């Protein structure tokens, strides 16, 4: 558990911060004190995170934070202030402050800062990785693989996994892993994007497993127009701060929403089958992805419903596409059909099926591959990241 202390010279500000912290199960003791900079001298047991307001910081608070930082180097400091001048940010940085947030506090930024503090204290390891699945042609089985891959990741690794169905017009990923009816969906969340935070995101998702949550596509295809690229960027940034892995299912058309998700993905999985139509469309899709400047390591082909002795050999497909196939998943029609018809993940319904085993192998293969680094809070705020 993480100990948090909030000190503010403004009673309203103190209450606002405390309310935003409540409900986070990973936070333990939350102490709140109203007063000036001298209150900082009264802190006997250093918290993991100390949050103060700007007025307190500018009236002797920064000097006291610096002293506290020397005494307790593991304590993280956050200042919430209207003063975002470069001079103040530099002073705060020299005092050892990790984050300077604007006032009033945007929920997304606040929870992202808390997530960063959790990482430093060991509660979170790193920003989550984003895996995007996209079909090379309709009927590839990309949604089935993506939804079951997310289930395998959550079950095998014991990590927090979020699934975002970004097929805004005709997404049906929820049907592959759950019988629950979504209470809300992607379009509704986009309409509430101004108040998005970790709690709202979690509340908008179906709990498939305690550590596997799914955000459904809009129930009405007409609502797809409400989903914008900037909304997807905001949701993905928040999701990767709060989940170990984020699995994204994309529609085949490369619109602004899909491109935003592809840009932010750590790995992209185009899904195809070994027949002429799929290979032709896969070649077109790969050409577009390469023209976008994506590295070879980012694009990883998956062949679905693979059968030995097919008319088109795997080597022939790789030669035509100019790239190696990352993984192939076998054809197992009866087990997959049973999984789809029941709305039960195949890795749960038939854990020893070859398809389930291939999904387990895929999850083990990609989970440790990608690491990410972020610029400092100061460089981000000054626009130099």
Output the six-digit token pair for 322: 């100019």
Q: Is the pLDDT of residue 27 over 60?
A: yes
Give domain status of residue 188, yes or no: yes
The pLDDT score that the predictor gives to residue 368 is 61
| Concatenated DSSP letters of 316-363 | HHHHHHTS-EEEEEE--HHHHHHHHHHT--HHHH-TTSHHHHHHHHHH
Q: Which of these three, 65, 99, 124, is where a domain ends?
A: 124
Q: Is residue 67 domain-shared with residue 112, that is, in the same domain?
A: yes
Largest CA distance in the chain: 79
Q: Is residue 144 domain-shared with residue 254, that is, in the same domain?
A: yes
Q: Which of these three, 107, 124, 141, is where a domain ends?
A: 124
Binning pLDDT at 50, 70 and 90, where does residue 162 land?
very high
Give domain status of residue 168, yes or no: yes
**Mean pLDDT for the stretch of residues 25-29:** 73
**131 or 55, higher pLDDT:** 131
Query: How many structural domains is the chain composed of?
Result: 2
Give domain status of residue 206, yes or no: yes
Among 13-17, 27-31, 321-325, the range with the most confident prediction by mean pLDDT is: 321-325
Using alpha carbons, select from 105, 99, 101, 136 the residue that is nearest to residue 120. 99
**Mean pLDDT for the stretch of residues 26-45:** 80
Binning pLDDT at 50, 70 and 90, where does residue 158 land?
low
pLDDT in tens, 76-102: 888 888 888 878 887 887 787 868 888
Q: What is the CATH number of the domain that holds 216?
A: 3.40.50.300
E strand residue ranges, the chain: 2-8, 27-34, 49-53, 76-81, 99-102, 129-135, 161-165, 206-209, 212-215, 245-249, 267-272, 301-306, 325-330
Binning pLDDT at 50, 70 and 90, where does residue 62 land?
confident
Q: Is the pLDDT of residue 206 over 80?
A: yes
Q: Is residue 63 domain-shared with residue 170, that is, in the same domain?
A: no
Residues linked to residue 52 through DSSP beta bridges, in sequence order: 7, 79
Q: Is residue 157 domain-shared with residue 290, that is, in the same domain?
A: yes
Q: What is the CATH number of the domain that holds 34?
A: 3.40.50.2300
Q: Which of these three, 124, 155, 172, is where a domain ends?
A: 124
Binning pLDDT at 50, 70 and 90, where does residue 161 land?
very high
Candidate from 9-23, 114-128, 224-238 with smallest mean pLDDT: 114-128
Q: Is residue 250 domain-shared with residue 206, that is, in the same domain?
A: yes
Q: What is the DSSP letter of 224?
A: G
Using alpha carbons, select from 262, 267, 278, 270 the residue that is nearest to residue 320. 278
Q: Is residue 300 domain-shared with residue 246, that is, in the same domain?
A: yes
Q: Is residue 164 domain-shared with residue 118, that is, in the same domain?
A: no
Q: Are strands 212-215 and 76-81 parallel, antiparallel or unpaired?
A: unpaired
Q: Is residue 184 domain-shared with residue 307, that is, in the same domain?
A: yes
Q: Is residue 222 domain-shared with residue 354, that is, in the same domain?
A: yes
Dihedrals φ, ψ of 246, to 5°?
-125, 120
Give domain status of residue 383, yes or no: no
Give domain status of residue 133, yes or no: yes
Instruction: Determine contact, residues 4/29, Cβ cutoff 8 Å.
Output: yes
Give domain status of residue 202, yes or no: yes
Q: How far apart are the first and last CA of the chain?
A: 31
Q: Is residue 71 domain-shared with residue 114, that is, in the same domain?
A: yes
Separation of alpha carbons 46 and 72, rounded Å: 7
**Mean pLDDT for the stretch of residues 309-322:** 91
Q: Is residue 214 domain-shared with residue 270, that is, in the same domain?
A: yes
Neighbours of 300 (CB within 10 A): 20
Residues linked to residue 140 through DSSP beta bridges, in sequence order: none
**66 or 289, higher pLDDT:** 289
Give domain status of residue 41, yes or no: yes
Neighbours of 232 (CB within 10 A): 25
The pLDDT score that the predictor gives to residue 371 is 38
pTM score, whole prediction: 0.65
Domain carrying residue 16: 2-124
Q: Is residue 279 domain-shared with residue 312, that is, in the same domain?
A: yes
Q: Give the whole-number percent of the chain exceeding pLDDT 70.
A: 91
Give domain status of residue 295, yes or no: yes
Look at the block and give the residue holding tokens 């390469």.
Answer: 290
pLDDT in tens, 280-314: 999 999 999 988 888 888 999 999 999 888 888 99
**Mean pLDDT for the stretch of residues 48-67:** 84
Instruction: Determine contact, residues 149/247, Cβ cutoff 8 Å.
Output: yes
Look at the block and give the residue holding tokens 């089935």.
Answer: 144
């Amino acid at each position: 558990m993480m100990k948090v202390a909030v000190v503010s010279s403004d009673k309203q500000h103190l209450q606002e911060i405390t309310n935003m912290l409540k409900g986070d199960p990973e936070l333990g003791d939350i102490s709140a004190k109203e007063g000036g900079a001298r209150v900082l001298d009264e802190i006997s047991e250093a918290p993991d995170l100390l949050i103060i307001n700007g007025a307190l910081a500018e009236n002797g608070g920064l000097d006291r934070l610096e002293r506290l930082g020397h005494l307790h180097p593991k304590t993280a400091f956050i200042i919430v202030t209207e003063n975002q001048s470069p001079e103040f940010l530099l002073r705060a940085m020299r005092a050892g402050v990790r984050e300077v947030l604007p006032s009033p506090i945007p929920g997304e930024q606040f929870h992202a800062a808390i997530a960063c503090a959790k990482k430093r204290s060991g509660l979170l390891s790193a920003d989550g990785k984003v895996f995007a699945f996209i079909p090379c042609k309709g009927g590839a089985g990309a949604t089935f693989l993506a939804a079951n891959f997310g289930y395998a990741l959550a079950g095998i690794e014991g990590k927090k996994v979020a699934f975002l169905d970004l097929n805004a017009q005709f997404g049906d990923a929820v049907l592959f892993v759950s019988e629950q009816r979504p209470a809300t969906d992607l379009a509704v969340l986009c309409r509430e994007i101004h108040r998005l935070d970790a709690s709202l995101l979690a509340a908008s998702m179906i709990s498939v497993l305690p550590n596997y949550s799914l955000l459904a596509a809009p129930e009405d295809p007409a609502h797809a127009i409400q989903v914008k690229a900037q909304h997807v960027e905001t949701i993905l940034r928040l999701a990767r701060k709060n989940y170990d892995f984020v699995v994204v299912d994309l529609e085949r058309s490369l619109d602004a929403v899909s491109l935003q998700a592809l840009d932010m993905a750590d790995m992209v999985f185009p899904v195809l089958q070994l027949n002429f139509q799929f290979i032709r469309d896969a070649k077109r899709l790969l050409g577009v992805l390469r023209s976008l400047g994506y590295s070879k390591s980012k694009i990883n082909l998956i062949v679905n419903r693979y059968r030995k002795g097919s008319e088109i050999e795997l080597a022939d497909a790789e030669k035509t596409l100019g790239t190696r196939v990352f993984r192939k998943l076998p054809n197992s029609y009866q087990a997959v059909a049973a999984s789809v018809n029941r709305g039960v993940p195949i890795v749960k319904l038939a854990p020893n099926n070859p398809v389930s085993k291939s999904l387990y192998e895929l999850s083990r293969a990609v989970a440790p591959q990608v690491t990410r680094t972020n610029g400092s809070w100061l460089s981000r705020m000054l626009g130099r990241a």
